[in-house]
Structure 1
Amino acid sequence: MLLLLTTTDVSNSSIHTNHSTESPTLQNGHLPSTVLILTLFILTLLFLCAYLLRFQVQQKHLVSTLQHKAPQGLLEDQDQTVVLLPRSLSPSQRFLPIPCSSLEEEYRRRAADESKLFREEYNSLPCVLSCCGAFEASREENRDKNRYPNILPNDHSRVRLSPVDGIPCSDYINASYIHEKCCQYWPNQGSCRYGRVCVTLQQASVLVDYTIRKLSLQSQGGDGCRETRMVTQMHFTGWPDFGVPFSPISTLRFLKRVRNSNPPRSGPITVHCSAGVGRTGTFIVIDAMLDMMQEEQRVDVFGFVSRIRQQRPLLVQTEMQYEFIYKAVLEHHLYGDTELDILSLKSRQLRLCNMHSKLTEVRIMKENMRTGNLSANLRKNRVLQIIPYDFNRVILSIKRGQEFTDYINASFIDGYRQRDYFIATQAPLSHTVEDFWRMVWERKSHSIIMLTELQERGQEKCVQYWADEGSVCYGEFSVELTGEVECDSFSLRDLLLTHSAESRLVRHFQFHWPEMGPPLDGRGMIDMISAVQRHQEQIGHTSAIVHCSAGAGRTGVFIAVCILVERLQAEGRLDIFQTTKSLRLQRPHMVQTLVRIYTHSYNWVNSIDSE
């Protein structure tokens, strides 16, 4: 402001001088004004020089720090942190709350340029550090032994070498003893005593992203009286070792389950990760922001994190966690709560069908399709628009001496209780049948679900990859038909797959999908899902392979209905919108015919309730 005003004053003065007469300026008071302006201008120059000098010193320090490039992996939930970028030059900068109406726009603005504004906002947070000392690591004699100047072992947990005579500080190495992330404090079965407290596992329910345990706690006091209390432990297992979850869908679903499980008038919810700052802080902030959205129609992530860091240092430990908070809050703002119970299934069907158009907003991540788009692999794709993402594609073993033999158009898909429970793939082509059976063999799959006919409307949809009778060989694999049963809406075949003198039984389920549109009755689909579930339970829940022609439309519908049915049976609730959205994040174009398939998904689920 001072520089701008000075520039304006100088400009106006110059113009005035150019158009003034030759009369003395002392009488008009112009000379003192000129002296004042020049004085302010000189002071401004001195201020700028001092600022630039300070900035150069900071830049030299930054270059010195960045000469040692940080590793790609992120350290989280540890006592040490890696500051990959310098702190903001104005750490006291205040970021104002964001109205809900502007949340999406603000998120996209902050996420632009590789999340540059998110980094600036995160680095402006107050940094309240713990008092753990690293005196030995900071000694002048030991500085050259530290690869990174800001990653130093604490004195109380550093590894001590045997000292070498005559060499000071020779017992130092940049290494720390690390405890396990969390000591298990509950029994896997039965009871276990921890001091005066006896913990008994009453029930455990394992889902794909979290586990729910019912624990009975019995404490014996000094007077001999025993008090028993029930505690619900919600164990979120969907957080990766490094970074943050790929999508906030599972985190929000878990948070809702936590809220619903906490009885009224109970004590505070205990939240922990390893160090109790990174994931713990992220979870707490998301929970608080959802409440703020509802009560105040705005969010204040920066202000809330700043406050809680005064209560516990380093809560929300990394920039990725900070950005993930915004991502989760935006997800809730855009889509809200789309869960349904059985009673509200029909009443909210129309509203959710209209909401289904939002699924087109799920971005197709073409940058993660590099392997399938390699020239050597393009001919292995039936539809060039449906290519698996690199992060969850099925990788085959490479044939000796043959490049590019690890690719097949197939994606791992999470089920309701188990990660990678399904493999979504396209129908085999004539030159990929052996790859298909290699995948079945290497993944130890015992169930194949086929959702197409070999030909539909005069066009090939799938190459036959089994024998009508006897056996047939595909490269190193032999496939023999050992039995076939025709049910009302699907065919069931038992196939004996043999490789290197070892044989396995594979059950083949073929649902007779109509050539035009979805099935009119959901009963047949539910019957086949039940048959698949029974078979999977018998053989040990290895990945079930599901395919239609392109491996997206009908395949996505079948997997979605499987997840919905299993959740409805277990919880009495379902979420068609988020289930479908989650599938699209794992494989492009899953559930292609949006409204019609969406409507029939309800019909299939309703057929369960009509029993």
Structure 2
Amino acid sequence: MSVRKLEDKQNDNGFTIKMFEIMLKNESDSERRVVHQYNCTAWPGDVIDTSAHLIEFTHSLRKAKKEFGVGPTLVYSTDCQRTGTVIVVNAILDMAEESSEIDVFNFVKETLSSCPHIRLKENQYAFIYEMILECLFCGATNISLAHFPDRYKEIQIKRSILGRPVIQEEINNIEALLSIQTQNDYTLRAKVSEPLLIGMDIEEDVVYSNTKSTNSYLVPRESTLTDFYNFWEMIYKYKSYTVVMLDAEDERIGSLVPKRKMTKGQFTVEVLSSEKIDCVLKRILKLTKGKEIPREICHLTFLDWPKESQKPSYLGYFKQFCDDVREVQRTNNRDDYVTVCSLDESRSGFFCAVDIIVRKMNANALVDVYHTVKRIKRVSSSLLDTENHYKLCYEIANICADDSCDIYESINL
């Protein structure tokens, strides 16, 4: 037997495809076979969470099985639980193509009985349901920036296999998964008095809770936002140098920043400068704790989100505000927490979602609204009003995609 590599493709969606030629030689004849190897590279560490990469990998694998004919599929991993998960998900999807009914419980039960070395934990069992839901009703949610405007138009009119709008199906999936999240080991929660910590690793395509990463957000709870000492103590403790305020009209939050200077306990806050540009109020503050070295804080308030409204007055201004925050961090060369403040935590979650979506656009030229929103909601269900903010995330992504296309066209003129 001889083996020769024919091709090696690196896919942008988190997996590689390799082609091998196998020659089987005997005394009278020889047989040539071509084997396709799909290697998933986007399943980091101990993370038990679906991603656009895993969904794309599953769809590509199933497409290859149909294209290259019959025969068994060899599934292997150093983690037998992952092997079992891939086998079960693909078998259930096969079942869904042949029948209008699927039976996950009994299939998993029979699989585990026949393969005792594959032992699934409770969160892995929930993960299988999540993968099946997304594959059946959402499909590939990772969209290239260049194709996003056309895909966005298509998504608005496209229907799922149940006849519902695709965007509504994505919202239903998120809500369905959130309804059972209290039973999942991988759902992390914070105490009412503690801030919500959100970390996003753009390259790994993972959202973390209570873990700082390259893009991190700190969302204070209401009890902290209405107390001057507790708020600035939190800012000092987490070493946050950028504060975003989304409640311009609420006096309870407005009192956190003095007109000139204020001291309470060990903390003194002094306004060094204040500048209003369009819908943004930018202030530079000096935060001092006792006799320690003062810290300079950039405080940005968005002025165009009415108190009783579920969305900003104009999405273009909000998108520009998010850009301003990123520019402040880039200019100051900071990789610290962005503290996002609002008495309505869904506003804070919306800001985090938009910022992560745009950062991913800039880094990888990809848009994935579904998984970004799902992961933020998993940190806390109070982050984002799914029904309203989900569609707004798509709208802002479309604004960004149109801007990128205009820039590209102007460069090539």
TM-score, normalised by the number of residues in structure 2: 0.66
CA distance in 1, matches of 2:237, 2:152: 41
Return closer, same or farther for 1:589/1:252 CA change in 2, 3 Å cut-off. same
* 2:92–2:132 contact (8 Å) kept in structure 1: no
- Corresponding residue SS for 1:236: coil
2:241–2:296 contact (8 Å) kept in structure 1: yes
> In terms of Rg, which structure is larger?
1
Relative to structure 1, is the Cα distance of residues 283 and 531 closer, same or farther in structure 2, using a 3 angstrom cutoff? Answer: farther
Q: 1:339 aligns with which of 133, 141, 149?
A: 141
Superposition map of 1:4-403 within 5 A: 234-237=41-44, 239=46, 245=48, 250-259=49-58, 271-273=76-78, 276-299=79-102, 301=104, 302-303=106-107, 306=110, 314-315=117-118, 317-320=119-122, 323-324=125-126, 326-329=128-131, 331-332=133-134, 335-337=137-139, 339=141, 341=143, 342=148, 343-349=150-156, 351-355=165-169, 358=172, 361=176, 391-393=188-190
Shift of residue 451 of structure 1? 0.7
5 Å-filtered alignment, 1:430-449, equals 432-449=227-244
Counterpart in 2 of 1:415? 200
> Identity percentage over the alignment?
18
Q: Map of 1:406-555 to 2, 5 A cutoff?
A: 408=193, 410-415=195-200, 417=202, 419-420=208-209, 421-426=216-221, 432-455=227-250, 460-469=251-260, 471-500=261-290, 501-515=292-306, 516-517=308-309, 518-537=311-330, 538-552=332-346, 554-555=347-348
Are the equivalent residues in 1 in contact too, given 2:80–2:117 (CA < 8 A)? yes
Q: CA deviation at 1:575?
A: 3.8
Letter in 2 for 1:606: N
Equivalent-residue separation in structure 1 for 2:59 and 2:178 (angstroms): 32
User: What are the Cα deviations for residues 43-69 of structure 1, in whole angstroms up to 9, with x where unaligned?
Assistant: xxxxxxxxxxxxxxxxxxxxxxxxxxx
Q: Within 2, Cα distance between the matches of 1:235 and 1:465?
A: 42
Cα drift, residue 391 of structure 1: 3.7
Offset of 1:438 from its aligned partner? Answer: 1.9
Shift, 1:543, TM fit: 2.4
Q: Which has the higher helix share?
A: 2
Supply the distance in 1 between the matched residues of 2:252 and 2:140 (Cα, whole angstroms): 35
Query: Which position in structure 1 is the counterpart of 2:395?
Result: 603
Deviations 1:423-460 (A, max 9, x none): 223456686222222221222222211111143xxxx4
Deviations 1:450-486 (A, max 9, x none): 111143xxxx4524212332x3223222222223332
Distance 1:437 1:204 in 2: 46
Q: Distance in 1 between matches of 2:200 and 2:313?
A: 25
Distance 1:279 1:355 in 2: 27
Tell me, in whole angstroms, the C-alpha distance in 1 between the residues paired with 2:182 and 2:218. 21
1:289–1:329 Cα contact (<8 Å) kept: no
The DSSP-based 3-state class of the residue aligned with 2:154 is coil
* Equivalent in the alignment of 1:561: 354
**Hey, what's the Cα distance between the residues in 2 that align with 1:232 and 1:367?**
32
Q: Relative to 1, partners in 2 of residues 1:431 and 1:564: Cα closer, same or farther, differing over 3 Å?
A: closer
Q: Which runs of 5+ in 2 are unaligned?
A: 1-9, 19-36, 158-164, 210-215, 404-413
- Residue 536 and residue 295 in structure 1: after superposition, are their counterparts in 2 closer, same or farther (change >3 A)? farther
Alpha-carbon deviation of 1:530? 2.1
Q: Deviations over 1:98-124 (max 9, x none)?
A: xxxxxxxxxxxxxxxxxxxxxxxxxxx
Instruction: Name the CA distance, whole Å, in 2 between partners of 1:465 and 1:498.
Output: 14
Describe the SS at the equivalent of 2:256: coil
Distance 1:295 1:413, change over 3 A: farther
- How far apart, CA to CA, are the structure 1 residues paired with 2:90 and 2:340? 37
Give the superposition deviation at 1:494: 2.0
Structure 1: distance between partners of 2:94 and 2:386: 36
Answer yes or no: is the 8 Å Cα contact 1:286–1:325 preserved in 2.
Answer: no
Give the letter for the 2:326 counterpart: Q
Question: How many residue pairs are counted as aligned between the two chains?
Answer: 341
Residue 232 of structure 1: CA displacement? 6.5
TM-score using structure 1 length:
0.47
Distance 1:287 1:339 in 2: 19
- The answer on whether the counterparts of 1:410 and 1:426 sit within 8 Å (CA) in structure 2 is yes
Unaligned runs of 5+ in 1: 1-202, 206-210, 217-229, 369-389, 395-406
